[in-house]
């Protein structure tokens, strides 16, 4: 037996240990990345919910404006009521889209802002500006949310993630699809 025979096995064992450490480090990195993506989705969900709630409040406030014509007030109020009655995600997406369409239908009328101010309902134009700003925030929040969902779903589709069940029992996030085009005031 040569003196190098025992050293050869030592090198193989050392290489195996290094390989195991590298592979386990990579797996840990993937798991922590997936966890960060899920946290990002949760944060984006909270931001989207806050933006949607703020827009709903702005729509209700606009619907209650004294200078708003009755048909527009009914349209906005009806959309807001449907939103409150939405139970599951599909109904909510549809109700949010209805609010977006109602808001556009009312705010894109020619002379809307001037008519509201002239009737004494909003002397500074704050209500339409607030509703428009809230609608823009919804647009951005939904875009960030759907981007986070897409990144998380792509990471979870990886073979290694599925084989080792790195996502654990976390539910697969779903996209939030709605008509979120903000209104363009005609004034």
pLDDT at 4: 54
What is the domain partition of the chain in residue ranges?
A: 7-163
pLDDT at 65: 87
Question: 167 near 156, Cβ under 8 Å?
Answer: yes
User: pTM for the full model?
Assistant: 0.84
Distance CA 18, CA 16 (A): 5
pLDDT at 3: 56
pLDDT at 2: 58
Give the residue among 87, 108, 71, 104 at the shortest CA–CA distance from 186.
108
Give the residue among 171, 132, 151 at the shortest CA–CA distance from 54.
132
- What are the 10-residue block averages of pLDDT along the chain, 187 residues in total? 66 92 94 95 97 94 87 92 89 94 90 69 73 95 97 95 90 94 75
């Amino acid at each position: 037996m040569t003196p190098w025979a025992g050293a050869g096995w030592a090198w193989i064992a050392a290489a195996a240990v290094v390989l195991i450490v590298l592979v386990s480090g990579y797996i840990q990195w993937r798991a922590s990345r997936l966890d960060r993506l899920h946290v990002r989705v949760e944060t984006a969900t909270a931001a989207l919910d806050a933006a949607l709630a703020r827009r709903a409040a702005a729509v209700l406030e606009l619907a209650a404006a004294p200078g708003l014509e009755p048909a527009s007030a009914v349209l906005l109020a009806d959309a807001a009521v449907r939103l409150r009655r939405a139970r599951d995600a599909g109904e909510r997406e549809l109700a949010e889209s209805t609010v977006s369409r109602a808001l556009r239908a009312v705010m894109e009328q020619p002379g809307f802002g001037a008519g509201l101010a002239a009737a004494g309902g909003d002397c500074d134009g704050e209500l339409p500006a607030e509703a428009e700003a809230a609608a823009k925030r919804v647009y951005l929040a939904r875009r960030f949310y759907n981007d986070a969902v897409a990144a998380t779903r792509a990471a979870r589709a990886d073979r290694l993630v599925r084989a080792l069940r790195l996502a654990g029992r976390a539910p697969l996030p779903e996209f939030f699809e709605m008509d979120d085009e903000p209104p363009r005031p005609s004034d």
